[in-house]
Amino acid sequence: MTPHPLPKTAVWPAGPTVAVRRPIATFAGTIAVLAGLALAPAAAEPSTGASQPRAPEAERAVARLGERLVTTVNDASKDTGARERALENALRAALDFDALADFVLGRYAAELSADQKATFQRTFSAYVVGTYARVMAGNAIDDLDVVKSRKVSADTAAVATRVARRTADDTRWIWRLHRREPGCWGVVDLQTPAASLAVNYRSAFGNLLDRRGFDGLIQQIHAHTKREAVLPSENRAILMLIRGLQANRLALTAQ
């Protein structure tokens, strides 16, 4: 498969809105897709353009995940723990951790053994799904609408969504997806106009690897997972992504 990095600037075709509503998610080619994110700013508000077609398969994948997230978050028959477990399952199925973990490790991936990479992926995925399931379970999402998409290549796409909540202004999320196999799309990044989860992790974990080494990184992720606490570098990204705070109020950093 020929690598097709995602461009740094989004160009969006016009298209109908697909609503999800509920009344009162070769390997080298995949990494190349993500590599553009390391240098790119967080996603800008989509603009209209006709140079790239829509990506209906990717739209449907995001719509299905959105429906599952919205339904679970608002399921009054489940207690908080049950909602969190259901959200963890949805996120674990939707995210492409093979690609995401290798991208997050960056240049360090080549220095690690197969066992170390497997350890990192298990540790990283457990932290990510646990963290975002907890945050989502405590922040009601009323609607998630797929508004636009673009097909970057045969195997990559970006989908823009509008997220509506009762207690905050609407938020724009942009999902980056990679086709793992025919008809199966995995999420490799989730962005707002001021934050990118993949780039945030790559920066924060690179700093930890420099300062503490591989074992120190794993210990810190384990410790935060066990305490159900968010890594310091992720606080701002989560606030902007889930709670809708604007870029002029908080800046994404990797402290």
User: What pairing do the DSSP bridges indicate for beta strands 184-192 and 143-153?
Assistant: unpaired
Give the residue among 157, 159, 161, 183 at the shortest CA–CA distance from 171. 161
Residue 41 has pLDDT above 60, yes or no: no
Tokens 């009323």 correspond to 142
Cα angle 147, 128, 21 (rounded to 5 degrees) comes to 30
Give the residue among 208, 211, 210, 207 at the shortest CA–CA distance from 221. 208
Mean pLDDT of the chain: 76
Residue 232 has pLDDT above 80, yes or no: no
pLDDT in tens, 183-192: 899 999 988 7
* pLDDT for residue 238: 67
Identify any residues that bridge with 14 across adjacent strands, giving them in sequence order.
Answer: none
Residue 55 has pLDDT above 90, yes or no: yes
What is the rounded average pLDDT of the residues 63-83? 91
Residue by residue, DSSP assigns 198-212 as HHHHHHHHHHHHHHH
What is the rounded average pLDDT of the residues 213-229? 91
Burial of 76 (0-12, 13-18, 19+ CB in 10 A): exposed
pTM for the complete prediction? Answer: 0.73
Going along the chain from its start, the domains and CATH numbers come out as 18-242 (3.10.450.710)
Contact present, 233 and 203 (Cβ < 8 Å): yes
pLDDT in tens, 97-146: 998 998 999 999 999 999 999 999 999 999 999 988 888 887 767 888 99
* pLDDT for residue 251: 32
Give the residue among 213, 214, 216, 207 at the shortest CA–CA distance from 255. 207
* pLDDT for residue 45: 41
Q: Which two tokens stand for residue 132?
A: 């975002």
Percentage of the chain exceeding pLDDT 90: 42
Contact present, 54 and 202 (Cβ < 8 Å): no
- Cα distances from 108 to residues 38, 120, 207, in angstroms, run 14, 12, 11
What is the rounded average pLDDT of the residues 3-17? 35
Q: Tabulate helix, strand, coil % of the chain (nearest 5).
A: 50, 20, 30
* pLDDT for residue 168: 67
Q: Which two tokens stand for residue 34?
A: 């993500």
* pLDDT for residue 241: 65
Q: Which two tokens stand for residue 208?
A: 């930890």
What is the rounded average pLDDT of the residues 174-203? 87
What is the rounded average pLDDT of the residues 60-75? 92
Identify any residues that bridge with 150 across adjacent strands, giving them in sequence order.
Answer: 158
